Amino acid sequence: MPTPCVQTESLSKNFGGLRAVDDLSFALAPDEVLGIIGPNGAGKTTAINLISGVIKPSSGSVRVDGHEVTGFPPFVLAKLGVVRTFQATTVYSGRTVRENCLRGAFLHLYTGFFSTLFNTAAAREARARIDSEVEKTLAWLGLHEHGDSIADSLPYGYQKMLGLAMALMASPRIVMIDEPAAGLSVDEADRIRDTIRRIHAQGIAVIVIDHNMRFMSGLCDRIIVMHHGRKIAEGAPSTVLSDPAVIEAYLGKRYARA
């Protein structure tokens, strides 16, 4: 069995007296799309924040390709190929779509202080290479015609797509996507779902969080359900979404009994 590209063991996070993530263990295979669902406040985003280094766990561990990375800062994890998006659109206001996409590539653009300062041939070559990748990524995601538009003036669905473009510019091997379908129409959500499938087809492992069950069941190979910080179910979408414990978590005991 291949080494999981991401693995958590008994991962927990306390905020004062609140245990936001409680003893969470799971493994992400390199060839899968893993979904994490649960009611509001279940701990889904906190789990992603722990894995991506945005916050440090109270206990437990995170491994990438079998190597301990618990508590590593986000820029170190990004260099290892672990990249994430956020619930809200996080475009740079007042900047164009192209400039936003370029910022996602800063990790791979730096050629050294003096080379950058004096704009040497190496620095110019690196910038030309990144500029070319920006254009390819924008075209691949259907954003090319909006390259000169101010990012925060775009419709919400396009801003969501731009968030994926910025993540892709970091050359990830693993991408964690937080609520990509939130606030989108059915057609927009379908476009985002199809885009995530295409990203996965490029050999990128995916963890995705969302409340849209239609979206998740049509995208994920496997789903984990969290409730009050704990994992209460795991398996294929059809199995998990019919689990009485999951139905109870979302709708209450009366519906679960029914």
Tell me the longest C-alpha to C-alpha distance in the chain. 71
Domains parsed from the chain with CATH numbers: 6-91+170-257 (3.40.50.300), 96-153 (no CATH)
pLDDT in tens, 60-116: 999 999 999 999 999 999 989 999 998 766 788 889 999 999 887 877 666 666 676
Computed over every residue of the chain, the mean pLDDT equals 90
Residue 82, φ and ψ in degrees, nearest 5 = -100, 110
The predicted pLDDT at position 108 comes to 65
Cα gap 247→230, rounded to integer Å: 15
Cα gap 253→156, rounded to integer Å: 36
CA distances in angstroms from 211 to 136, 143, 190, listed in the order given: 31, 26, 14
The predicted pLDDT at position 117 comes to 66
pLDDT in tens, 225-250: 999 999 999 999 999 988 888 888 87
pLDDT in tens, 28-65: 999 999 999 999 899 999 999 999 999 999 999 999 99
The predicted pLDDT at position 130 comes to 84
